[in-house]
Every structure is written in structure tokens, then in C-alpha cells.
Structure 1
Amino acid sequence: MGRSAYSYRDDPAVPAFPDDRPLVLFDGDCALCSGSARKILKADRTGVFRLAPTQSELGRALLVHYGVDPDDPYTMLLVQDGRAHERTDAVLAIAARLPMPWRLAVVGRIVPRFIRDFFYDFVARRRRRFPGQAWCAMPEAGASAGRDLADRVLG
């Protein structure tokens, strides 16, 4: 993840996308991940985040750009201010931009990253075992409290 800011703009494999807001890439084939994406949209009442499934053209291209296997993404990515964040760094950065009580999750930063990421990886490796794998990757229209999803869900 050590690339320079906005390096994806110079990568011809990455389609152009609006990067004026943070973009959350999530595994759209995973019930746990899709559920998390829905929770982000619901909690994000001011429209801070955009989301895209990793299975979309944009999602796959960004995963490859940042060295993540697009056929088995082990992490969600948060692309914010031109830089990618993964695992618990991404989760905590998202929580920091959401309203209370979600924002309280940032206290997790007191736990060393290697410990946080160990538990993240433990769940991520087992995420497809959770029930509900038939869920649709795209959040439903009501999930954003009437906000135009075409502007918030890319892909």
C-alpha cells in the first residue's frame, strides 16, 4: 500500500472515477461485507463515502493496482485522499468519519495494529462461512435514506 497519493490516476488499467470523497471497496459476494457496506450507507447520513464492490471493473482495477488478489480479496480497501488503507486501518478511518456511536470505534487504535489485523484476518478468512451468501452486492434504494445511490455506489 506504499504507493504515492493518487497513483491510480496514472494507471491506465484503473477507470476514471470521482475521487473527491473516500471510496470503500467491499466484497460484494460476501454477506458480511455487503452487510457492512449497507451499514456504512445507512450511518453515513451526510454522504461522505462512496462504495464499490470489488467485483466491479473499478473495484478489480484498484485491487490489482494496490496488490490485492481481486479473485480472493482478503481485505476491504478505503481509498481516501488518494491513498489506500486496508484491514483495521480502513475500518477505523471509516468509523472516524461516521457519526456517534460508530465514531467510538476509533478507541481501537490503542490496540497495536498487528493484533487488530490478526483478528481482522481471522474473520476475513472465514467470512464466506457466514449465512446469507445470496445477498445482493448492491444496497437497496432505502439504505441511503432517500439519497441518490447512483452518486454513492459506483461499479
Structure 2
Amino acid sequence: MKHLKLKHFAFLILFSLIFSSCSLTRTAFFDQYSYEKTIELKVATNRLINKAATPYVVHKEEVENLFLDIEKLIEYEKNKPNNDITFAMWKMLTDKEKNLLAGFFKRWEVNGIVSKSFLEEFKKQILEAFDLLIQYEVKKDKESKEALLDLINLNT
């Protein structure tokens, strides 16, 4: 009987150690909502970027709606445990002083229209950033984490 209690106790200790070590990885689990919303925002962003060769004022409401949707996702991401990397990426994308998403829309607003060549170059960069976010959400592996961190560090 004592032998059985000792085995049971040892199993509980081992299980506790494994469970606590997993929680120390500090990476949020896959989240279907985050995945779907990021894809939706990527598609909406791509469609809106394609309109940047026309006057900003015509599309101002669309830009505001896009950023409202992004704000909602940022609030969601901010409150997920162990989600610092994804949250940091979304904050960077929406920083008007950076040359990413918000910076592009700020430039479009200030200039009125954006040249086709700048638009195409920017589109590649921002869609790649979205792809990195999507891949990180899907895989949550070391490689996708490092790719996202590289982009964050490059733009800080």
C-alpha cells in the first residue's frame, strides 16, 4: 500500500514539473479567432492598399473602419496570456511613426494619393508581416517565433 502511495506521489510530482515547464514557454496556444481575424484584416488591408493610388478622402471611412477592427483585435490580443510577441507586432503595425501599416496610411492621408511603385513595394512588406503573424499563430514554433521577432526588432 505504501509502495502504491509513493508511486502516486512521484507521478504527481513529475506531472506538476512537466505542466509547470510547459507554462514557462510563454507562448499562447493556437487561437482560431486570432487566426481568422488576422486573415480577414490581411485581406481588407490588401484591398484598401490597392486603392491608395486614388484620393485618400474617398476612402477615409474605410481606413477608419479597418483601424477600428484592428483596435478590437489588439484589445483581444493584449488580454491573452503569454501573447507578448503577437501583441507587440500589432502595436508596431499600428504605430504611425513606423514604416508599416499605420505609417503607410498616414503617408496616404498626408499626400492625398500614393504612387503605384511605392504602393507595390509597401504592399509586399505589409502582406509579409501579416503572413508572419498568421504563420506564428498557426505553428507557434521556434522558427515562426524568430521570424516575427526579427521583423519586430528590425522595426524598433
TM-score past 0.5 threshold: no
Q: Which has a greater percent of helix?
A: 2
Larger radius of gyration: 2
Q: Which has a greater percent of strand?
A: 1
Give the TM-score normalised by structure 1.
0.26
